[in-house]
Structure 1
Amino acid sequence: MLTRYCRLLPLLLLLQLPLHAQTPDTARAVRLPEATVVGYGQNLPLRRTAAGVSVLDATVIDRFNQTSLTQAVNTLPGVRLEERATASYRLSVRGSTLRSPFGVRNVKLYYNDIPFTEASGSSPLNLLDPASIGRIEVIKGPAGSVYGAGTGGAVLLSTRRPLPGEARVQAGFTAGSFGLRRYSVAAETGSATATLRAQYTRQTLDGYRQNSALRRDVLTLDGEFTPSDKQTVSVHALYTDLDYEIPGSLTRAQFEQNPRQARPTIGTQLGTVDQQAGYASRTALLGVTHDYRFNSRWSNKTTLYTTATTIKTPFLTDLERNTSLGWGGRSVFGYRAALAGRLLRLSAGGEFQNSFEDARNYQNRRGTPGPLRYDDEISTSVGFGFAQADWELPAEFLLTAGASLNGLRYRIARVSDAAARPDSFAFRRNFQPVVSPRLALLKEITPQVSAYASVSSGFSSPSEEEIRPSDGSLNRDLKAERGTSYELGTRGSLFNNRLVFDVALFDFRLKETIVTRTTEAGVNVFFNSGSTRQRGIEAALSGWLWRVWRPSDSPVDDPTFDLPMVARNDEGLRVWASYAYNHFRFRDYQQGDQDYSGNRLTGTAPHTLTAGANVGLWGLYLTPTLSHQAQIPLNDANTVNAAGYWTFATRAGWRRVLGGKLEADVFAGIENATDRRYSLGNDLNAFGQRYFQPAPGRNWYSGVQLGWRW
């Protein structure tokens, strides 16, 4: 055996093949499983999914600092997660940041099959702890018709789950720059018929800027039980106690003078420190999913959930105290049959959400409530039905057709005016049901490579925050966005699965585009801008330059192999890169006497690039990452821009299992290693030229995680 390897070694090095890989047949025997897409309900391989979809799993998330999901999510082409202030996230999928001055809008989020986007249209991503997330799947653009209305896409989040036959307890501690302290404990157990996992995390931070401290406590409980061969029951509970300060935006002069300062007091206009600007909330979420397989043809998955939230938000002029309750459900039926001798997969179902919110706004007197300005009761109902068919055609073609019918209703009553006005202020708005269709065709060129074409239509109603901004006004004339996306793509693997690629070209045409501007009081107001055209290219590549292999316990039917081999997931050298080119323009946009037609789309970068490497050997690992974002326009006139930037980060550590029981991970990392000064999550069309939200300078973190498994 040794003599044979010595003879083959020069050839192996020349071809950069994995050690012990001798023939194409052997390579097929040991190829790692490819990602499976669950978003369309068919659990098809990513290679056989005719849509712009990207997937992150726990191995990718664990390569970055677990205090935030930002770096991991930004490895996906066309997807940008920004942290404007500590725990204040903004998510963009193919340019959807335009209508998200804060929070996550126009992108539908699900948490373990539970609708995580509220009925009002906002998604509180800051409630989640990154360490609890085991998988992220992003469906880009309006292709996610099975998730209802939307032009920005859908994001499916799943928590980590134990492996069958394993049980473990874990504890971890992380410390870092700007007062970072993070504590976590977790316990999990799994069997062939049940899994159970509980995790508690506490994270505190003093913050890079003035008035940017954070405290977040997150408790998650996830269980899955299989009472019989036909059914599975899942229960998911989440409780988050969140409190963070808001530093506010700066002018360019303030940003260049001292990026660590909060928005200062100028004259009679108090700044964020004097007004004790911040956000505090307590949220509880409970969801139950029942998956039933009637027979080999019919199945059903039904999810019911409820949520409750209290919020206190003092800002520059107002102090908001909100209490809300939400509930809803989702049910999907699946059917498999043969049509003209070819497999046909059908799915159909519906989703409904309802919420009630008591929203009270007071004058903000240095962080304490002043006189009541208004008290609103807000009822929101949103629902849709959908259907989709996947038909396996001859010559390895796959035809997909789907559509959803969507409706939304707002009811806002200003009860604080009831005594003075018997006909108290009331606002009702119904967005009539709209059909959003999708059609796609995929061709499997080889068993490893496919290409697809798709056309999809999207409809996105304004969120509650866009209809009712924090200044108490009501936007009666705001219209829903409507858009159509055309997309071509190819994905797969080459060279015996050593190189994995995913390339997509899209042309998205949006009407009644919703944009934002900031008033003198720091209030974001919204209006329709006419139409936009968003064309782009997205590409992701990854490949192993060197791979460590070890003997396998599983037999491989291959007479050319003396001993079956499998790859270690964490040992070797793998390089990867993702790139997006965005040619986003206003097509027809007249604002007063200003014509912005042809201008670049506000807040979107023409180029983004993320690249890195994963190096592992003998339990040691290193994960350097390089990120780039080009210059972006900050106002619709394109007269003010945020400079482009490059940043470098890396994480290194030692991860081993000692004695088959004790798991140890000792790590350290550095972010923004070159101490680049840049702005992230900028305010768009800001009053007083206050566009800039400075990102942290050079910072470090280190920690340890220990676990015991049996």
Structure 2
Amino acid sequence: MKTFLTGLFALIGVTSFAQAQQDSIRRLNQVTIRPYFSNQSLIRSTGTIGLIDSGTLNKQSGNSFVSAVNTVPGVRMEERSPGSYRLSIRGSLLRSPFGIRNIKIYMDDFPLTDAGGNSYLNALDVAGASQLQILKGPQSSIYGANSGGVILIQPQGTNVPTDSTSVVLKLEGGSFGAFHQNALLQHQSGKYKLSITQAYQRSDGYRDHSNMDRKYFQALQKWDYTKNANLKALLFYSDLHYNTPGGLTEAQYQQNPKLSRPAAGQIKSAIDQKAGIYSKTLYGGISNNWIINGNFKHVISVFSSYTDFKNPFITNYEKRKEFTLGLRSYLEYTRNTSHVEWKFNLGLESMKTGTDFDNYDNNYGQRGAVQASDKLNANSSFAFAHLSIDLLQKLFIELSASANLYGYNYKSIAPVAIPKKTNRFDIQFMPRVALSYKIDDQLSLRTSVSKGYSPPSLAEVRASNNVINVDLQPEYGWNYETGVRYEGVNKRLFVDVTGFYYNLKNAIVRRTVLVNEKEAEYFINAGGTKQWGLESSLAFWIIPLNNIHFVKGLQLKNSYTLSHFKFDQYLDKTNNFSGNDLTGVPKTTIVSSTDLQLPKSFSVFLQHNYTSSIPLNDANTVYARKYHLVQAKIGKKNLYIGNVPFEIYIGADNILNEKYSLGNDLNALGGRYFNVAATRNFYGGLLICL
């Protein structure tokens, strides 16, 4: 049956498209996005974009972004244990032993990615986001340094109904001690909007020593203080802790996948060392949007964040204190005639992140003697220009470019004091040329060429080997892509097919080494990669939403991703890995789902994810086997307690009880590649609207 399903979905060759699903009108209407300053219908967008809205998020368990994000073709999100995210867009996870690198993330008008290259996506609770736009491929032209892509997060409260107040409470519990609670208050009165999100999440995890908990608070305010201007403020605080069970060898994985990493020789176990992450993040930003007149608009945003990060690891105890301060501003000029619509944006973004790195001996979860202490400051600035031209509502052209300046300074305090030094990279010019042509109201073609650029993050410059690697250089490359979109059958059918080629140079890859019989990591520049890819998508309402038939609606979605990614001229000491498959990337991924609407507000959601085998080392001698994930969710809306409406739901993940690793440790020393995901598990929840 698995083989039949896989063959059928591959024959269809399509990917999931997360179109708006909050009510029957939005489901069948044209989807509008805003990836490059201009509001655009998705069918006319020049870029390849994955859209995940609240309807898509609500179909998954509320404990993680992973299942929803993985419905987008070309995107892979992993969770090695609860709370430990990894994310890649069309590329390698080699740079990310944990966390997110070479991808730029924005939350509303504010960069979530700091100047040091870190993006604490796991600090956010799922309840704090209402939509994610994923821009695939390099977007360095207007979003600064990135070689993978950009994620634009729309926080809760962006769209609040006029003159209204609402409170939503959601409770969800499940297997392995999972519990998630969140409350949402939204208020709009006259010229003022307020949205407050509070959330708490915990889990014992499937494996030993994999429990997590997170406390989260978020506030978004908007004040239209004049007819032509408004002020927006975003604030969130996250207190996250999760234990890290560590990777297992093949033998341990087969014998007892629930194990955490055991002791080996003089190396203590993950439990003994109380290995885990303790991260507290406070983020705030204020933006002002001023419509100067009918042609000009000015937007300015200032933002800051502070993170207190602690990581008792098996071989050391790391502490980081990170402070970021930044500004983003642009001026927009618009001019429309009967045949042409022009829009020109000119702006800049600049930020600075200071990081104190301190490493100690780890004495059973307590700090011991100092191993190393360093201070690094990253400075990231870029100026950008963007021109869009819409001719006769047919041909849409976008020309954009940025000049990127990046550098860092550092000084060592221990074990040997080193005076402050500076390392600056050359200014990089990053262009993007893109266009789409609407053949008719149902069919459009698009193509684009863009350059990607990503300097090493501070966590790569100063990795766990406690050496400041001033020789590590940025990675860069050119991306070429073309695609076609079709929207027909009264907007019930949407098809999207994209092909691309990305030639990445100077690729940054992770290496592990034994230092004084202790495991440590460092990063090098590999020769590069050649990445050919195909992404296709389809979403079809077989039975459109209605109030007449027994089946009130039936939608099918499918996703297909083909990643033919190879190393190019890659030498590692005496090993030549040129031509090998890119480590950590499955060649084929297929995601398919069914959304069934039934009488009396019952709904049934089914999803199947097929992921092919994954190379776990650069030599391609070890692979993680392919797997099939099946999940289901059944819900009932429009229930009442008195006059209070509520809904209930139950769901199941990994129904086939697959044994697989979600978040492999690539090129791991001692063959400890595997971080085992949960077996078959269940959850249920209650949502109350006040």
TM-score w.r.t. length of structure 1: 0.90
1:466 alignment partner AA: E
CA offsets, 1:614-641, max 9 Å, x none? 1122211111110011001111111111
* Rounded Cα–Cα distance in structure 2 between residues aligned with 1:533 and 1:344: 36
* Rounded Cα–Cα distance in structure 1 between residues aligned with 2:190 and 2:496: 35
1:52-131 counterparts in 2 under 5 A? 52-131=48-127
Match of 2:638 in 1: 656
Larger radius of gyration: 1
1:53 alignment partner AA: I
Match of 1:378 in 2: 376
Match of 2:335 in 1: 337
Alignment partner for residue 361 of structure 1, among 351, 359, 362? 359
Q: Secondary structure at the match of 1:85?
A: coil
Alignment partner for residue 579 of structure 2, among 586, 595, 598? 598
Alignment partner for residue 409 of structure 1, among 387, 407, 410? 407
CA offsets, 1:644-688, max 9 Å, x none? 100101111111164995231211111101110001111111111
Query: Which stretch of the first structure deviates more once superposed, 93-102 or 205-214?
Result: 93-102
1:453 alignment partner AA: T
Match of 1:147 in 2: 143
Query: Which stretch of the first structure deviates more once superposed, 496-505 or 185-194?
Result: 185-194
CA offsets, 1:166-189, max 9 Å, x none? 321122221111111222222111
Could you tell me how far 1:545 is from its partner in structure 2?
1.1
* Rounded Cα–Cα distance in structure 2 between residues aligned with 1:579 and 1:40: 26
Query: Which stretch of the first structure deviates more once superposed, 513-522 or 141-150?
Result: 513-522
* Rounded Cα–Cα distance in structure 1 between residues aligned with 2:552 and 2:302: 42
* Rounded Cα–Cα distance in structure 1 between residues aligned with 2:647 and 2:441: 38
* Rounded Cα–Cα distance in structure 2 between residues aligned with 1:317 and 1:201: 33
* Rounded Cα–Cα distance in structure 1 between residues aligned with 2:466 and 2:221: 42
* Rounded Cα–Cα distance in structure 1 between residues aligned with 2:519 and 2:608: 34
- Determine if contact 1:510/1:532 at 8 Å carries over to the other structure: yes
- Determine if contact 2:492/2:544 at 8 Å carries over to the other structure: no
Match of 1:432 in 2: 426
- Determine if contact 2:156/2:197 at 8 Å carries over to the other structure: no
Pairs aligned (count): 660
Could you tell me how far 1:306 is from its partner in structure 2?
1.1
CA offsets, 1:454-510, max 9 Å, x none? 111111101111111022112221111110011001123111111111111000011
* Rounded Cα–Cα distance in structure 2 between residues aligned with 1:224 and 1:657: 33
* Rounded Cα–Cα distance in structure 2 between residues aligned with 1:299 and 1:154: 24
Could you tell me how far 1:394 is from its partner in structure 2?
5.3
- Determine if contact 2:140/2:402 at 8 Å carries over to the other structure: no
- Calculate the aligned-residue CA RMSD, in Å: 2.0
Could you tell me how far 1:579 is from its partner in structure 2?
1.1
* Rounded Cα–Cα distance in structure 2 between residues aligned with 1:31 and 1:286: 34
Q: Secondary structure at the match of 1:685?
A: coil
CA offsets, 1:515-547, max 9 Å, x none? 112334443321111121101111121011112
Match of 2:561 in 1: 580
Alignment partner for residue 249 of structure 1, among 243, 247, 250? 247
Q: Secondary structure at the match of 1:624?
A: strand
2:280 alignment partner AA: R
Could you tell me how far 1:337 is from its partner in structure 2?
2.2
Change (3 A) 1:338 1:175: closer
Match of 1:469 in 2: 463
Match of 1:637 in 2: 619
Q: Secondary structure at the match of 1:72?
A: helix
Match of 1:589 in 2: 570
CA offsets, 1:587-624, max 9 Å, x none? 21111222111111111011011110111222111111
Could you tell me how far 1:290 is from its partner in structure 2?
1.0
Alignment partner for residue 508 of structure 2, among 510, 514, 517? 514
Change (3 A) 1:340 1:512: farther
Query: Which stretch of the first structure deviates more once superposed, 383-392 or 653-662?
Result: 653-662
Change (3 A) 1:191 1:450: farther
* Rounded Cα–Cα distance in structure 1 between residues aligned with 2:267 and 2:207: 20
* Rounded Cα–Cα distance in structure 2 between residues aligned with 1:137 and 1:154: 8
* Pair 1:540-2:521 in alignment: no
* Pair 1:175-2:169 in alignment: no
Q: Secondary structure at the match of 2:463?
A: coil
Could you tell me how far 1:193 is from its partner in structure 2?
2.7
Q: Secondary structure at the match of 1:680?
A: coil
Match of 1:609 in 2: 590
Name stretches of at least 5 consecutive residues in structure 2 with no aligned partner: 1-24
* Rounded Cα–Cα distance in structure 1 between residues aligned with 2:226 and 2:664: 52
Match of 1:487 in 2: 481
Could you tell me how far 1:232 is from its partner in structure 2?
1.8
Match of 1:258 in 2: 256
Q: Secondary structure at the match of 1:170?
A: strand
Identity %: 33
List, as ranges, runs of 4+ consecutive aligned residues in structure 1 with deviation greater than 6 Å: none
- Determine if contact 2:76/2:87 at 8 Å carries over to the other structure: yes
Match of 1:283 in 2: 281
